[in-house]
Amino acid sequence: MRLLVTRPEPDNARTAATLRAKGHEVLLAPMLRIESIPDADLGSPPWSGVLLTSANGARALAAHPRCGELRSLPVLAVGRASADVARAAGFADVTSADGDADDLVRLTAMRFAPSRVRLLYPAGEDRSRDLAGALSMKGIGVHTVVAYRAVTANDFPPEVQAALAQGRIDGVLHFSRRSVDGYLACSRMMQREALKPMHYCLSDRAAEPLRLAGATRIAVSAHPDEASLIAEISQ
């Protein structure tokens, strides 16, 4: 198939390599650009652990000047990708919830509640889930630090715009609702062509704007991870 991957760098390159190894043709159009905030104020320790809801948070933490003092802490990550980045950054005690934010809340509650702990959460500037609020209800304190931001793309790359206009894209992979919003914004002058391919979405939340825009060919991953999403392509 001829596929378009919309996730940010550097994850898009890994996804593209996996797809090409399966025989697909791949174009890349990152709908978001991730910018770490190197001077993010982490606050004052002690912390009992670190929470990660994305690989971007893990990368931002790995690049932070104070990362060294955190590596002995246990890390609870939302999924395998964020867990792998944390391990690569030198964190040894890393556990993946293998799911979404709700799964991470449940894992954290099992690991720490009920206890008076304070967890560090390097988060994005825009968040769809109040992780700190959910854990506060379970008696777990969370110190949220804005460690990175996502900047939305303004246009498709020229080769991607041409491929969509000419019907040379069979499927589009979407990994977040915000990237879907960016995709729809970039397709404002060619929405009919942009909605025509099959849309493979990591979650129902990501798929919702596509449905509202009129897309009729949508597949939602059985689990919120890359392997499950790619598995949908061969269904």
Mean pLDDT for the chain overall: 93
Q: Which residues contact 10 (CB under 8 A, 6 or more apart)?
A: none
Which whole-number Å values give the CA distances from 50 to 71, 139, 144, 213, in the listed order? Answer: 9, 16, 10, 38
Confidence of residue 126 (pLDDT cuts 50, 70, 90): confident
Domain end call among 81, 116, 150: 150
Domain end call among 95, 115, 150: 150
Confidence of residue 94 (pLDDT cuts 50, 70, 90): very high
pLDDT for 193: 97
Please tell me whether residues 121 and 219 are part of one structural domain.
Answer: no
Please tell me whether residues 45 and 140 are part of one structural domain.
Answer: yes
pLDDT at 196 over 80: yes
Task: In whole angstroms, give the CA distance from residue 80 to residue 73.
Answer: 18
Please tell me whether residues 203 and 138 are part of one structural domain.
Answer: no
pLDDT for 234: 78
pLDDT for 9: 92
> Which pairing describes strands 141-152 and 32-36: parallel, antiparallel, or unpaired?
antiparallel
When pLDDT is averaged across residues 194-217 and rounded to a whole number, the result is 97
Please tell me whether residues 146 and 38 are part of one structural domain.
Answer: yes
Task: In whole angstroms, give the CA distance from residue 225 to residue 200.
Answer: 12
pLDDT for 117: 82
Domain of 191 in residue numbering reads as: 2-31+153-233
pLDDT at 235 over 70: no
When pLDDT is averaged across residues 209-232 and rounded to a whole number, the result is 95
Domain end call among 150, 171, 203: 150
Please tell me whether residues 97 and 142 are part of one structural domain.
Answer: yes
Per cent of the chain over pLDDT 70 is 99
pLDDT at 114 over 80: no
Domain harbouring 142, CATH code: 3.40.50.10090
Query: Are 173 and 200 spatial neighbours (Cβ–Cβ below 8 Å)?
Result: yes
Per-residue DSSP letter, 52: E
**b (16+ CB within 10 A) / e for 65-78:** eebeebbebbbbbb
Please tell me whether residues 125 and 169 are part of one structural domain.
Answer: no
Q: Which tokens belong to 120?
A: 């560090």
Per cent of the chain over pLDDT 90 is 86
Please tell me whether residues 21 and 65 are part of one structural domain.
Answer: no
Please tell me whether residues 38 and 135 are part of one structural domain.
Answer: yes
pLDDT for 128: 73
Please tell me whether residues 81 and 101 are part of one structural domain.
Answer: yes
Please tell me whether residues 137 and 40 are part of one structural domain.
Answer: yes
Query: In total, how many domains does the chain have?
Result: 2
Q: Which tokens belong to 162?
A: 């041409």
Query: Are 58 and 77 spatial neighbours (Cβ–Cβ below 8 Å)?
Result: yes
Please tell me whether residues 116 and 209 are part of one structural domain.
Answer: no
Task: In whole angstroms, give the CA distance from residue 123 to residue 192.
Answer: 35
| pLDDT tens profile 6-53 | 999 989 999 999 999 999 999 999 999 999 998 899 999 899 999 999
Please tell me whether residues 98 and 26 are part of one structural domain.
Answer: no
Per-residue DSSP letter, 11: H
Query: Are 225 and 80 spatial neighbours (Cβ–Cβ below 8 Å)?
Result: yes
Closest-CA residue to 74 (of 65, 63, 64, 87): 87
